[in-house]
Structure 1
Amino acid sequence: MNKPLNGRIALVTGAGGGIGRDLACALAAAGAHVGIAVRRPDTGEETARLIEAEGGARSLVLPMDVTDRTSVLVGVEKLAAEFGGIDIIVHNAAAPDSAYPMPAVDSDEAGWRRQADITLGGALSLAQAGHPYLKASGRGRFVVMTSNFGYHGAAMNAIYSASKASLRGFIKSLAREWGPDAITVNSISPAAATEVTRAFFGQFPAMEAAYKRKFALGDLGQPRRDIGEGAVALCSDYLRYMTGQTLFLDGGMFPSA
């Protein structure tokens, strides 16, 4: 079986559920040993069980609050000590605010800071803590999960859109800084139906049909297959010459991006 990440060490934040869990499992299936960074260790244990069930890769649950720089540093150093280094960092953790639409005029400072601290603050803390290990790897990969909302905007989600859009400048700058260290820096903009989404559409098939029409491929996508495998390619040697870019994995939902 082809394992393009065989023996590499990866850290995935927000890996206790949703797309984060699919990312962790996809990287593990490709041969990487995975640090499962989560705020709640119980959710990370479930991801670890799924990785173990597939066999081949090792995993380590890392209690981590990405808004706390000390927590990030401790988690990064623990993973490196356990497995002997770090080759890949995927920042997926995000505030749940996007699930609760709100007019910009009603948004408060706490909501702004929460999203900025998790999205941007987390990315910066992971970059600072992880850089020495990614540089030592000789083939480091730093990936952040962004959103189509960050490129096209979204009514009732201005803060989320702004926080995701800001990652674009961050990865482009970091790609220029870290290029001499043989580290690629990219982002992924995903759109795929999670289990929760599919369960919802199971009750409202007419809404599912209407939603599918937004995708050029007419397919809602599967996070593990369509997002996870894209992350594997980005973190492997297949796309070693790609940096400072965003990989749109959205089934053509926004083909003009």
Structure 2
Amino acid sequence: MSSNTNTLSGGGLLDGRVALVTGAGGGIGRGIALAMAAAGANVAVTGRRMSTCEDTLRLIDAEGGSAIALEMDVSDEQAVREAIGQTVAQWGRLDILVQNANAGDSAHPIALESITEDDWYRQARVAWDGTLHCAQAALPHLKASGHGRFIVLGSAFGLHGAAMNPVYSALKGGDRGFVKSLAREWGPHGITVNAIEPAAATEPTEVFFAQNPAVRDAYLRVFPLGRMGAPRGDIGRAVVALASDLMGYVNGQNLPVDGGLYTAL
């Protein structure tokens, strides 16, 4: 691995560990998978589309990392169990599970009067059912690990709410309670459970900003550091730290990784 890769993602911190990352076919999930692989983890790259997972796999392979790509829909309990089973069959263990998957349009604004039951349950099947399925299927392996880590990608919307997006905000607020409850329940097994609320510029964000520079400049002015995070270098590195022994005493926390954007929380 190159020195630059290790600098960005914490080379060696996860040597020998096995991680499964959901929603890793692009965006923040891809950044996390790349960072974890660069830090020495064996990574199961999972997502609903095998083609995008394979794109992430190729990037990891190009850096000399260790990974497999698995097609998996977190809303499908059996698919989650099978993917975790394949991961354990590949490497003999599972130490870390990162639940990053969300419904594809979950962050799109939608006013309350326009919300249908389908809007609610379609997103909940991924955000809530998916997290439940991942937690239940991973638990016996995380118990056996000695370094068990369960990390959920939340959102600041679940902390401060969001006008025009009550569904996503409610679901992410629910994740907070789930994380805190599991931290209490699983702590005696040596497993830590935490959430990260990221503010990162994904590929679609970068395209939108390139087309709308005035909007970009106005938005970035509210960030104390003057920039949005990088999916790999900022968000991925934070996940690596939480998954490592460096932060093994951090448990039940919801950590904004946002350059100081939500300083009032």
Aligned positions of 1:187-226 closer than 5 A: 187-226=195-234
Q: How far does residue 205 in structure 1 lie from its aligned partner after superposition?
A: 1.9
Q: How many residues align?
A: 256
1:166-181 aligned within 5 A: 166-181=174-189
Pairing 1:34–2:72 present: no
- The amino acid across from 1:208 in the alignment is R
Letter of the structure 1 residue corresponding to residue 58 of structure 2 = R
Question: Is residue 153–residue 196 contact of structure 2 (8 Å, CA) maintained in 1?
Answer: yes
Structure 2 SS opposite 1:156: coil
Mapping for residues 79-98 of structure 1, pairs under 5 Å: 79-98=87-106
Q: Which residue of 2 aligns with 1:22?
A: 31
Q: Which residue of 2 aligns with 1:107?
A: 115
Aligned-partner Cα distance in 2 for 1:256–1:173: 24
| CA distance, structure 1, for counterparts of residue 127 and residue 204 of structure 2 | 22
1:247/1:99 Cα in 2 relative to 1: closer, same or farther (>3 Å)? closer
TM normalised by structure 2 equals 0.94
Determine if the alignment matches structure 1 residue 43 to structure 2 residue 52.
yes
Q: What code does the residue aligned with 1:54 have?
A: E
One-letter amino acid matched to 2:110: M
Q: CA deviation at 1:123?
A: 0.8
**Contact 1:97 1:160 survives alignment (8 Å):** no
Asked if structure 1 preserves the Cα contact closer than 8 Å seen for 2:43 and 2:68, the reply is: yes
- How far does the alpha carbon of each residue in 1:131-188 deviate from its partner, in whole angstroms, 9 at most, with x for none? 0100100110000000000011111110000000100100100000100110000000
3-state SS, counterpart of residue 181 of structure 2: helix
Q: Name the CA distance, whole Å, in 1 between partners of 2:44 and 2:12.
A: 18
Cα offset for 1:203?
2.4
Q: Is the 8 A contact 2:107 2:168 kept in 1?
A: no
Q: How does 1:227-242 map to 2 (within 5 A)?
A: 227-242=235-250
Deviation at 1:99, TM superposition (A): 3.9
**Whole-Å separation in 1 of the counterparts to 2:190 and 2:35:** 23
- Offset at residue 61 of structure 1 (A): 1.1
Correspondence 1:122 to 2:130: yes
- Within 1, Cα distance between the matches of 2:250 and 2:24? 24
Is this contact kept in 2: 1:13–1:92, CA < 8 A? yes
For 1:80-107, what per-residue CA distance to the aligned partner results, in whole angstroms no more than 9, with x for missing partners? 1111100000000001223431111210
**SS of match in other structure, 1:185:** strand
SS in structure 2 of the partner of residue 98 of structure 1: coil
Task: Verify: 1:146 aligned to 2:154, yes or no.
Answer: yes
- Contact kept, 8 Å, 2:106 with 2:123, in 1: the verdict is no
Choose the corresponding residue for 1:244, options 224, 240, 252.
252
Q: Deviations over 1:205-232 (max 9, x none)?
A: 2211100111111112211111000000
Gaps of 5+ in 2: 1-5
SS for the counterpart of 2:101 is coil
Q: Give the Cα–Cα distance (whole angstroms) in 2 for the partners of residues 112 and 196 of structure 1.
A: 24
Which structure 1 residue ranges, 5 or more long, are not aligned?
A: none
Does the Cα contact within 8 Å between 1:150 and 1:165 map onto a contact in 2? yes
Contact kept, 8 Å, 1:36 with 1:47, in 2: the verdict is yes
Q: CA deviation at 1:16?
A: 0.5
**Contact (CA 8 Å) 1:15, 1:38: kept in 2 or not?**
yes
TM-score, reference length from structure 1? 0.97
Secondary structure of the 2:106 match is: helix
**Quick one: distance in 2 between partners of 1:203 and 1:95?**
25
